[in-house]
Amino acid sequence: MTRAIIHVDMDYFYAAIEEREDPSLSGKAVVVCMYSGRGGGSGSVSTCNYPARDAGIHSGMPCSRAKSIDPDAVFLPVRKEFYTSVSEKVMNILRQYADTAPDGTKTFEQVSIDEAFLDITQATGGDLELAQEIGMRIKEEVKEHEHITCSVGVGPNKLIAKMASSVRKPDGITVIKPGDVGDFLKGMELTSLWGIGKVTGEKLEQIGITTIEQLAAHDVIDLIKVFGKKKGTWLKKAADGVDESVVKEKIGSDQIGRIITLPQNSRDTELIFQTIDKLVEDVIDKLDSRGLSFRLVTVTVITSDFKTHTNSHTLNHHVSDRNILRDAAREILIAFISETTLDLRRIGVRVGNLQKSSGQTTLFEYL
């Protein structure tokens, strides 16, 4: 049976919420900024609405640059807690449409504050036309209850559904049936393939691959030689539109974390490790106060070009040891630094997949 996967992506989420809250913003360029705390309006654009994008403003751009492009735009600070509360309401709407797995969980996967996957294969019998009808109902319900719009992609797997949701933005829906996957991917730039970052894209270009079609035609053995077995095989499958990953609700998704702006942009490992150690102490203190242990370690880095990078590592089991957290965070940072020439601007450490601690897990026990 063909799988029926939906990807829902909220349209310019933060800015859309601000427009909803203040109708006078309608028709104006709205820019939501993540200010750095250094003063003088320093920071980067988190998101913006379509009038701002039409003017040339985009996410990750320095706020000062955005203001020079459109001085008349409305600039607002990020209100993350408020946006999160809206997100929770949206996700509750989406979750009810997902199938129920044998273990009683929903085949629903929230991947960020403003996007999620739903597996509705059981509900539709693999009929993507029926899945499109469900996608339309989702769009209508979100608009009715939260007064904001979303774009929906429907496909036979997560990869295709994710890419399809970007085709008709804002407020659109796109369905890609199994027989249309090849034509859908044909001619697309590498950067359009979900999961390919800057470093991987540059390596592919070095061996003459600039489109998804070229990647699909490339010998998988050569890809494995360049990228290793796991990544090389994944690249080949992804270029063919193949994705076997499941949609699964994340249990224990509550997270604790903190992010710090460095005194100056830097690649100095001593400064970076000092920052990591401080972040770890703060996170562990919060965990201890709630009697929690963690299994997922996530490091967020904002580089000097204001782009955000996130990498995670899942431990073998739940722990609550500061040394384990410190070493995992440092390992992730070392791997990231080795793949970029940019300085780091902000660093964050976050733990997830939390549960109540049964007792202190030590580094010795972990090893």
Place of tokens 């030590």: 362
Question: Would you give the distance in Å from CA 48 to the centre of its chain?
Answer: 17
Is 129 known to be catalytic?
no
Residue 347's φ and ψ, nearest 5 degrees, are -135, 135
**CA separation for the pair 59, 48 (Å, rounded):** 7
Selected catalytic residue, list 19, 115, 146, 249: 115
CA contacts within 13 A on the Cβ side of 29 = 18
The beta strand positions in the chain, using DSSP E, are 5-10, 30-35, 43-48, 74-77, 108-112, 115-119, 150-155, 173-175, 256-266, 292-303, 308-319, 344-352, 355-356
Look at residues 304, 239, 323 and name the one whose alpha carbon lies nearest to residue 36.
Answer: 304
Place of tokens 């722990």: 319
Long-range contacts of 322-328 (CB under 8 A, 24+ apart): 322/280, 322/281, 322/284, 323/363, 324/361, 324/363, 324/366, 325/280, 325/283, 325/284, 325/294, 325/297, 325/349, 325/351, 326/276, 326/277, 326/280, 328/297
What residue type is 310 in one-letter code? Answer: T
The two structure tokens encoding residue 260: 């710090």
The size of the chain, in residues, is 367
Look at residues 147, 37, 129 and name the one whose alpha carbon lies nearest to residue 86.
Answer: 147
**CA separation for the pair 1, 345 (Å, rounded):** 48
Q: Determine contact, residues 209/182, Cβ cutoff 8 Å.
A: no
**CA separation for the pair 80, 47 (Å, rounded):** 12
Catalytic residues: 115
